[in-house]
Chains A and B, each alone.
Chain A
Amino acid sequence: MNIVVCVKYVPDATADPRFESDNTVDRVGVDGLLSELDEYAVEQALQLKEGTEEEVTVTALTVGPEKAADAVRKALQMGADQGVHVQDDAIAGSDAIATSLVLAKAVEKIGSVDVVLCGMASTDGAMSVVPAMLAERLNLPQVTLGSRIERKENQLAVQRDGDTATEVIIGAMPLVASVTDQSGEARYPSFKGIMAAKKKPLETYSLGDLGVDAGEVGLSVAWSSVAETTARPPRTAGEIVKDEDGSGATALVGYLASKKFI
């Protein structure tokens, strides 16, 4: 069985993310890392591998700038077998539509893939659309946003906790799946894993290798454009009171009344 895990390199959320002058997210000037939400996908890929006698290859796939290889390396340290990094200057500024195109072509090039596993959202863009777009492009079933994932012979079943119901969705492989942060704690790389990762293959593809025309991706052909980005003005400091013998409640009630909430 072949599993491809899509891992994204994102700006560290605890550092201050910012925009470049062309309104794209600054992905070079700030520290980045493997999106935490994609660690859950790597974990589930490894568990699928560990849960069977079959030969399973887990390939970590990223699309991003040079430093994005770090995201793949982290996945290799966690236990993925090999890595693929699609890197091409023309990709900079791509939207989800173009990103899903490049990911889909890369999945096709990797070949005979049974499961494409994604995180629930990237921690920077947080659109949660790439897995659905990938399924659409690859014409595969999607079993997405699983809080639990289970293999049943040639099928995968996920539990999806929706707004009005918890559902079980099942699809036959090959398919696209995504998992949430409820799917189970992701493992830390062990020392052995970190050493082993250094010897694992990590291939770099250009757009040419994938047969994607540079004119199909990047900021200039994005199907939507950003006109302006404004930093939110800092909230003006609020009033803070210390509760002493019920004074806090009285003050809070006064505030609620002054704002007409009661």
Chain B
Amino acid sequence: MSEVLVLVDHVDGAVKKPTYELLAIAKRLGSPSAVFIGGADKAAGAAADLAKFGAEKVYAIDDAEVKGFLVAPKAEALQQVAQAASPAAILIVSTAEGKEIAGRLAIKLGSGLITDAVDVDADGTTTQSVFAGSYTVKAKVTTGTPIITVKPNSAAAEEGAGAGAVEQFAVTISDAAKAARIVASNPRAASGRPELSEAAIVVSGGRGTGGDFTAVEGLADALGAAVGASRAAVDSGWKPHNLQIGQTGKVVSPQLYVAAGISGAIQHRAGMQTSKTIIAVNKDEEAPIFELVDFGVVGDLHSVLPAVTAEVEKRK
């Protein structure tokens, strides 16, 4: 059975959940091989985790020559693995960086590329959601090795041991690929809440919070949810940009999305319209967000949310 390469998304060796989802998808297409680009001392630990979620093989690439540079060296490394393994497909998590790596790799390999898939069938047919979620598109790569970037939450991670055979893989990185250098990096402080794109529940606040996110965060914590924000809330400096939901922020597709004090502009919808269940709390009954909701409350978020939070806490 052909290998299917999965580029591992991790922070310092800690593998992120979407990678496990990709391993589950890879299993449908062939034999899952994880490509770990990271510190040599972190590879063994990551490989054990990857094996637990079905990786038959783990290519361990020492990132000494990769880290400190943007995107291009990772694309070169993947190209070299692909040339050695002749995989049936290459799967990458749909993050900003993942998509850029995929774009460069597609040109290098002469392969077709599909981005932001929300599902991949056994025959390689992908499902995408486009135009702010108003259309569903089925597509397939027809040239070269299919390169597919897949959104988080597109499949359930499946525990089921793979062999997890580790192969140290040496790569050569060109000088050209090292031309864009990362000269400073400020890690984001952990919020203690689930990560937005991976969360099962997201509670978001907009301009209607008036800058006070206490009610939004209270409900989020009671539900074990991630916190999101509209661009208006981000532009006002109330929340950092990495929490923005929408066309120019994150696109989320959780089981439950709660929009509080958000009007529901088209650009915001683009980031949350495919959520399974949508709830809104808004003072204005004419707010367009109510066109999308499964359940809506016309009311003041500063009184409705704390009352809901109190009741949720009580029932725990």
Contact = CB atoms under 8 A, between A and B. Distances in A.
B102 interface: yes
A97 B141 CA distance: 12
Interface stretch (A57-65, A135-143, A190-198): A135-143
**Majority SS of interface residues in chain B?**
mixed
A220 B279 CA distance: 43
Interface string A140-157: 111111010000000001
B103 A136 contact: yes
Contacts, number: 250
A19 interface: yes
Interface residues on A, range: 35 or more
A175 interface: yes
Given A169-B180, A224-B112, A240-B290, A123 B285 contact: no
Contact of B304 (A127, A143, A228, A248): A248
B104 interface: yes
B72 A168 contact: no
A67 to B, nearest CB: 19
A238 B294 contact: yes
Contacts of B278: 235, 238
A253 interface: yes
A251 B308 CA distance: 9
Nearest to B184: A168
B175 to A, nearest CB: 11
A165 B187 contact: yes
B103 A251 contact: no
Interface stretch (A45-53, A78-86, A201-209, A254-262): A254-262
Interface in A4-26: 13-14, 16-17, 19, 23
A136 B138 contact: no
A225 interface: yes
A229 B255 CA distance: 24
Interface of A: 13-14, 16-17, 19, 23, 37, 95-97, 100, 120-121, 123-124, 126-133, 135-137, 139-145, 147, 157, 160-172, 175, 180-182, 222-232, 235, 238-243, 246, 248-253, 255-257, 259, 261-262
Given A136-B104, A163-B96, A261-B277, 13 more contacts: A124-B131, A129-B103, A129-B115, A132-B100, A140-B179, A161-B240, A175-B179, A182-B241, A223-B142, A238-B294, A243-B304, A249-B303, A255-B295
Interface of B: 11, 70-72, 75, 95-97, 99-104, 106-108, 110-116, 125, 129-144, 146, 176, 179-188, 195, 201, 223, 240-242, 247-248, 255-256, 266-267, 277-279, 281, 285, 290-300, 303-305, 307-308, 311-312, 315
